[in-house]
Structure 1
Amino acid sequence: MQRFAVTYRVFAANAAEARARAEGIALEQTVEVPEDVVPAGYIADEIVGRIEEIGQESEGRFRATLSFSPDSAGHELTQFFNVIFGNSSIQKGLKVIAVDPGAEMMVRHPGPRFGIEGIRRLAGRPKGGMIAPVLKPQGLDADSLAQIAYLCAKAGADVVKEDHGITDQHMAPFRERVEKTAATVKKANDETGGHSLYFPSLAGRPQDIEANIRFARDAGADGLLIMPGLLGFGVVDRIARDPELNMPVMTHPAFLGPYVLSEDTGFTHGMMFGALQRLAGSDISVFPNVGGRFGFTAGECGEIAGACRDPHGPGKPMLPSPGGGMSVDRAGDMVAMYGEDVTYLLGGSLLRHGDRIGEGIAAMRAAIDAAEGRLTKD
């Protein structure tokens, strides 16, 4: 059975310390006992992590690749992630920079159900950057949010997604909001012949989640927006693996920032918002765009987009979805940076258009198309 591999960046004073830390990871991520009490045979030979390679990146920084048995990870995504970086995530000076799931783990966790091509097929946009306006702000009632969704869909938005902060508040309860918004998006599509997709923000207490997933499907939602940092990556996996639901998943980065913001702990940006999201089954990964109100750099955003679309990554390539700092004026720069396989989030700036929000979407569509046309010619 092919083992899966995890590469860690180990911060250590020298090679001997780096190896000692890698040996600690091999035990900590599996048996969690001292080496001298590991039972001989199957546990020592198969379950304990193996150091496959250690090399120095730069002064004080080493790369250590360890392999693990699929038996250790079992069939649950949560345990798979636990082996990748469970207890060791609590230690300083360790950062996950790559995962190679291997053939067996890819059978167990095949990645996105739809991926880039599947989302394009559903949205009826075979090529070009996709546009996803965000329904907000928190505090509007269900009718007001549904009306904004109607205007966005009427204008040809590819994905109409709810803001992650709109959940199950009394102003716009989840079920009322989903029912009304799905109906208005369908109305717009019927009127225009379009294929705008509606992704509500999944809400509910743990005991409500399953019923709310099915309610959204039955009410006409096309996909679901999930916050894995709050609801758990297992919820993403549960939706993506269900052929009866057959719904795409869009993941939001809320609560995940601390996993990537430290230089010497957590995950690289590409790992967290690319590889892990794909392993969980997300089809579209939202992340803060460079130039917005958050601090991601152009390099970090490029790393995320690359990890989302890497043909050699886990499962089908997925759509990166940068949000923040989007405008008609920046469309050319964004197209140059992200190419065509991307979903642009358009947020608060669109609301300045009021009932003429469709004009803002149309202007962005024209700017993106023009920039892509110039890029093709060049």
Structure 2
Amino acid sequence: MTYGIAAASLAEARARAADIALEQTVEIPADIVPEGYIAETIVGRIEALEPDADTETNAGNGGRFRATLSYSPDSIGGELPQLLNVIFGNSSLQPGLKVVGFRLGETLSRQFPGAAFGITGLRALVKRPRGGLIAAVIKPQGATAESLAAIAYRCALAGADIIKEDHGLANQPSAPFQARCEQIGRAVARANAETGGASLYFANLNGPHETLMEQARFARTAGAGGLLVMPGLLGFDLLRRLSQDPEIQLPLMAHPSLLGSHVLSSDSGFSHGVLFGAIMRLAGADISIFPNIGGRFSFSRADCLDIAEQCRDTDGIGRPILPSPGGGMSVERAAEMHAMYGEDVVYLLGGSLLRHGERIGGAIQAMRQALEAAISRESKAPD
């Protein structure tokens, strides 16, 4: 694990790194750590410590340093919550500490295989071998199941690759979960039958924990081709469980609700790429949603590219997954977004689509044409 550390000197940074090694494992003072197995295997080890070349400006009272620590798989016990606990449990309560990278060793890589589908699997499901995928968001909260299904039908008819429920759709009386799944599932299936398309409907899981697996199974039976999960609200281990359940076998889209405060500090929490890239892969997400540059949120271009890179890194955890920027997305920005993200991306279109009303299908088709034109121009450009 690599941590960014705010410290006034290298000596202070080393002391803070040593504290992390203890805090994240045995959580007792160094002078009372039992000799033998606990001291030699369980306590974290400092592998490297150096000034952070990327952030040489002062932070707080001093500079920034990077410390790489290693932990034994014996500390994990093969369980995802404990792995996250070791990565950044108690130390997350300390100011001036930030998780900026991590890798799994051979043992943990076997225990945590990551996404069940990944980029290749998702492209096969939606029958789109290249180019950015388009995900239309159906909303708003308060709409009836019938009206949401009508929007989903028009989006699927126009060729949206994914029809995603808004994360605020739960079990409200206006569109109860089961009725909504059934109606939207039928609507998307009807559109696919009429066009020969392969749009996937992603149902949103949102409710008491004891009902979530039942919700997932019901959604699949009702015609969902994927599931939307909010790990910040429901837990990262739910993603893992869903990705590995043989009765479900659906691609998973992770939503960032409640996770923003983990990345917004410059010197605490997680880097954007670690949380929305590496950890989402670790938990089993196939698509990771995050706020796009130019929308109503504050992620920078560098933040967004960091997320996309860690989602798609071929040396990352398990299969590479698809980054999904949302916000500030439009036909006019399609070429800019293609130049920034490339082809392996899911473009999330929400409120901007709903402005088109019954002509929403035309907006989706215009976005597709704009993305295809960007690919065409790129292929014709001289080397």
Shift of 1:369: 0.5
Are 2:79 and 1:55 equivalent residues in the alignment?
no
Question: Residue deviations 1:186-220, cap 9 Å, x none?
Answer: 11111111000010111221121121111111212
The CA distance in 2 between the partners of 1:352 and 1:61, in whole Å, is: 46
Amino acid of the residue matched to residue 143 of structure 2?
A: L
Give me the identity figure in percent: 60
Partner of 2:316: 313
Kindly report structure 1 stretches of 4+ aligned residues shifted beyond 6 Å.
none
Are 2:249 and 1:212 equivalent residues in the alignment?
no
Are 2:358 and 1:364 equivalent residues in the alignment?
no
The CA distance in 2 between the partners of 1:208 and 1:243, in whole Å, is: 18
Partner of 1:138: 141
CA RMSD of aligned residues (A): 0.8
Partner of 1:225: 228
Partners of 2:161 and 2:200 within 8 A in 1: yes
Shift of 1:252: 0.6
Question: Residue deviations 1:18-42, cap 9 Å, x none?
Answer: 0110010001000111111111111
For the residue of structure 2 that corresponds to 1:100, the secondary structure is coil
Flag structure 1 segments of 5+ consecutive residues without an equivalent: 1-5
Are 2:5 and 1:10 equivalent residues in the alignment?
yes
Partner of 2:260: 257
Which of 168, 174, 179 is residue 177 of structure 2 equivalent to? 174
Question: Residue deviations 1:237-258, cap 9 Å, x none?
Answer: 1111123311110001111000
The CA distance in 1 between the partners of 2:223 and 2:168, in whole Å, is: 21
The CA distance in 1 between the partners of 2:283 and 2:210, in whole Å, is: 21
Partner of 1:100: 103
Amino acid of the residue matched to residue 6 of structure 2?
A: F
Question: Residue deviations 1:259-293, cap 9 Å, x none?
Answer: 00000100101001100000001000000000011
Are 2:185 and 1:190 equivalent residues in the alignment?
no
Partners of 2:217 and 2:247 within 8 A in 1: no
The CA distance in 1 between the partners of 2:213 and 2:305, in whole Å, is: 35
The CA distance in 2 between the partners of 1:373 and 1:272, in whole Å, is: 33
Partners of 2:276 and 2:290 within 8 A in 1: yes
Partner of 2:161: 158
| Structure 1 stretch displaced more, 322-331 or 56-65 | 56-65
Which of 124, 129, 132 is residue 126 of structure 1 equivalent to? 129
For the residue of structure 1 that corresponds to 2:261, the secondary structure is helix
| Structure 1 stretch displaced more, 215-224 or 318-327 | 215-224
The CA distance in 2 between the partners of 1:12 and 1:282, in whole Å, is: 35
Amino acid of the residue matched to residue 321 of structure 1?
A: S
Question: In the TM superposition, what are the counterparts of 1:213-292 in structure 2 within 5 Å?
Answer: 213-292=216-295
Partners of 2:114 and 2:282 within 8 A in 1: yes
Partner of 2:330: 327
Amino acid of the residue matched to residue 202 of structure 1?
A: L
Flag structure 2 segments of 5+ consecutive residues without an equivalent: none
Partner of 1:35: 30
For the residue of structure 2 that corresponds to 1:341, the secondary structure is coil
Amino acid of the residue matched to residue 55 of structure 1?
A: E
Shift of 1:130: 0.5
Partner of 1:199: 202
Q: Give aligned pairs, total.
A: 373
TM-score, scaled relative to structure 2 = 0.96
Partner of 2:341: 338
The CA distance in 1 between the partners of 2:334 and 2:137, in whole Å, is: 18
Which of 19, 23, 37 is residue 18 of structure 2 equivalent to? 23
Shift of 1:356: 1.6
For the residue of structure 1 that corresponds to 2:356, the secondary structure is helix
Shift of 1:299: 1.2
